[in-house]
Structure 1
């Protein structure tokens, strides 16, 4: 079964999150990468192929990684498991929004 991956532009991510309050933002990078920088309010759940996701089913989920490939794989699995999820095109590398957090 082929699954089309819904995408959100990194330039429009802040607007998207503001428009859909309660959306879950999931960073699928390693814990170390997350600690260096992440999008404010994101939860860090590192991606593992074949993972059974345990996420709130009633929430829309926005997923990002470093450049977009891993988040697309994670979203593909989430959709197959019945979640409403989309990937940030280009990942955190392309995100220049006001909610970017860097570690001290």
Structure 2
């Protein structure tokens, strides 16, 4: 199954184009608290998990480098969601919506 990917460089434009989009950070809570994309919800990924997100909404999934978000997007698509994964994850994202916390 091919997983739709979005380039980290185009993520901000994608978010602007789809108002009401859900951004899901599938990293651990600790990683999320250090930095995340603004308005992202944190739902740490576990293989086989059942997703409880709004149906009919575009969902953007990201992790640290992209592999975990691809697995999560694959499971979401199997469950009937419209999901895309951010290629390269938050490591590659340099957009205007990046937020850092706990930095000195």
Q: State the TM-score bracket (shorter-chain normalisation).
A: over 0.9
Residue 15 of structure 1: aligned partner: 13
TM-score, normalised to structure 1's length? 0.97
**Among 93, 96, 99, which residue is 1:95 paired with?**
93
Shift of the alpha carbon at 1:62? 0.2
Could you give the per-residue CA deviations for residues 3-57 of structure 1, whole angstroms, max 9, x where no partner exists? 1100000000000000110110000000000000000000000000000000000
Residue 74 of structure 2: aligned partner: 76
Residue 47 of structure 1: aligned partner: 45
Shift of the alpha carbon at 1:58? 1.7
Shift of the alpha carbon at 1:92? 0.1
* SS of equivalent to 1:26: strand
Shift of the alpha carbon at 1:91? 0.1
TM-score, normalised to structure 2's length? 0.97
Distance 1:89 1:24 in 2: 17
Distance 1:80 1:86 in 2: 13
Give the total of aligned pairs: 102
Alpha carbon RMSD of aligned pairs, Å? 0.5
